[in-house]
């Protein structure tokens, strides 16, 4: 299925799927991952995150900065921790997860991960198409709306997905190069746009703001983590599996924490500054338009180009990861075709939400945000297992038959799967599901508790999942077995 060198030059097709990477091809270094995570988080949509901290949580700007560092950069340290598994096992995150949940038990976490990836990619694609429509409105001098210009809308969706396919389809080596150099271009544009946005800040209000209580900071940290690093955690090993064996774990953690943390902290801080005394950005249903309206008219075009580029860089990485997750789920095709399958899915989804559905962002983002609960449970179990596991059997990771060492009982490792299921139920007990305060779909029986009211149920999910798995001894019991396998 793979050649001696499975497409490890930029511009060449990566032919490797989910099979572990041979040591001879593992020449990566952490700086590559730094640029990958930097590019994926350079989107100007980070501004609304900071706006919510100030406008809705009442944080002073120094508090918002601390919250951004701990919540955003800290949550990406979790991504870096999962990257350690990629360096050890040389396979994508959800493929390595077979060793924890069992061949069949892993289907649940893998399906949830794929749904989440496809969901956010549809958000990126739809938003990018709206950005291009907004650009046309400026160039043509009159409003251009999706449903009144269906052909143009289809063209813009196609442009975005084809640009994504050209990078994600070629694979890992091309992704590393594009993400690095595109960061320079769109990073410079972000600085330019940010400079003009700074002119709208009410600095006197910033320096005279009253600090919020510590409880508001704790809530803010949870909100930032759930909206940034936790959503990327299941992609950590996807990017690190080509890292050299000598790369230290601390450098993998630092590459993710600093790579994503630097742009996120800057953008979240700027968003907070813009919202001191002004709630427009935090409450906007379309943050792209809200930010555009803060700029001089002549800056609108470079701003929209910046927004489009940030969405594209994030989508490149997400679609690449989704392709690997699709293969882990059992699709028997080459990796590039799995990417095409994912592209077709988000193309169809974007068409529906832009041309057919009456509304999009509220209901759809609510749905895919729900998936954060089972993903967080998976992260808790994966990290506890990683503490004890230093070896993944390459042969057994790919063997989905009862002869696999990861078959366990009926294809399921019940301690891991049980901990995951219990944590999900408890996590949803703290959760309120709905698009608005009036349109509530579901309300957990613990949602009115302090944790539930402040959106911290995902922390309970993380702790309970990892805690139950640890108490049941799933990871510890396998240390001896994996040591024997390593010497077999």
pLDDT along the chain (488 residues), means of 10: 53 91 93 95 85 87 95 95 96 97 97 92 90 88 84 95 95 93 91 90 90 88 85 93 96 97 95 86 74 84 92 95 95 93 94 79 65 92 93 95 96 97 94 70 85 82 95 65 45
- Within 8 A by CB and 6+ apart from 388, the residues are 475, 476, 478, 479
- Name residue 412's beta-bridge partners: 409
> What's the pLDDT at 11?
84
Cα 262 to chain centroid distance, Å, stands at 16
Helix axes 249-274, 46-55, angle to 10 degrees: 60
Q: Is 128 exposed, middle or buried (0-12, 13-18, 19+ CB in 10 A)?
A: buried
> What's the pLDDT at 147?
86
Output the CA torsion 345→319→458→30 (10° steps). Answer: 170
> What's the pLDDT at 84?
97
Distance (Å, whole) CA 388 – CA 396: 18
> What's the pLDDT at 298?
85
Nearest by Cα to 456 from 115, 216, 106: 216
> What's the pLDDT at 285?
66
> What's the pLDDT at 95?
97
Q: Phi and psi at residue 433, in whole multiples of 5°?
A: -115, 125
Give the containing element (helix H, strand E) for 442: strand 440-443
Farthest-apart Cα atoms in the chain, separation: 71
Distance (Å, whole) CA 221 – CA 370: 19
> What's the pLDDT at 468?
96
Distance (Å, whole) CA 7 – CA 2: 9
């Amino acid at each position: 299925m793979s050649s001696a060198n499975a497409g490890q030059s930029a511009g060449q097709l990566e032919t490797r799927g989910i099979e572990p990477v041979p040591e001879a091809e593992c020449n990566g270094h952490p700086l590559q991952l730094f640029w990958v995570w930097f590019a994926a988080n350079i989107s100007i949509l980070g501004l609304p995150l900071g706006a919510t901290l100030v406008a809705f949580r009442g944080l002073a700007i120094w508090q918002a900065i601390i919250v951004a560092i701990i919540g955003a950069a800290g949550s990406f340290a979790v991504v870096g921790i999962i990257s350690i598994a990629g360096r050890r096992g040389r396979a994508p995150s959800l493929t390595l997860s077979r060793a924890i949940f069992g061949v069949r038990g892993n289907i649940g976490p893998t399906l949830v991960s794929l749904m989440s990836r496809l969901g956010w990619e549809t958000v990126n694609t739809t938003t990018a198409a709206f950005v291009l429509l907004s650009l046309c409105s400026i160039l043509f001098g009159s409003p251009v709306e999706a449903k009144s210009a269906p052909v143009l809308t289809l063209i813009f969706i196609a442009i975005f997905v084809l640009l994504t396919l050209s990078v994600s389809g070629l694979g890992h080596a091309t992704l590393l190069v594009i993400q690095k150099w595109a960061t320079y271009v769109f990073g410079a544009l972000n600085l330019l746009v940010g400079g003009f946005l700074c002119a709208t800040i009410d600095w006197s209000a910033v320096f005279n703001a009253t600090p919020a209580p510590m409880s508001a900071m704790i809530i803010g940290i949870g909100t930032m983590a759930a909206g940034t690093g936790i959503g990327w955690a299941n992609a950590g090993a996807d990017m690190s599996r080509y890292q050299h064996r000598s790369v230290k774990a601390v450098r993998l953690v630092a590459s993710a924490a600093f790579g994503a943390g630097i742009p996120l902290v800057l953008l979240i801080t700027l968003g907070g500054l813009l919202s001191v005394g002004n709630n427009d950005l935090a409450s906007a249903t379309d943050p792209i338009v809200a930010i555009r309206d803060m700029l001089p008219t002549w800056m609108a075009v470079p701003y929209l180009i910046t927004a489009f580029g940030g969405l594209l860089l994030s989508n490149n990485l997400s679609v690449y990861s989704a392709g690997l997750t699709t293969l882990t789920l059992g699709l028997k095709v080459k990796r590039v075709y799995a990417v095409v399958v994912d592209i077709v899915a988000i193309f169809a989804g974007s068409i529906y939400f832009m041309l057919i559905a009456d509304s999009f962002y509220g209901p759809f983002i609510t749905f895919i945000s729900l998936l954060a609960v089972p993903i967080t449970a998976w992260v808790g179990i994966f990290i506890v297992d990683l503490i004890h596991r230093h070896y993944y059997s390459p042969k057994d990771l790919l063997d989905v038959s009862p002869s696999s060492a990861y078959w366990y009982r009926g294809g399921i490792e019940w301690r891991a799967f049980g901990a995951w299921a219990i944590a999900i139920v408890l996590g949803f007990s703290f959760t309120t599901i709905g698009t608005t305060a009036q349109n509530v779909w579901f309300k957990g029986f613990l949602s009115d508790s302090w944790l539930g009211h402040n959106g911290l149920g995902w922390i309970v999910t993380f702790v309970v999942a990892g805690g139950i798995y640890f108490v049941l001894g799933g990871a510890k019991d396998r240390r001896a077995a994996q040591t024997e396998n390593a010497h077999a």
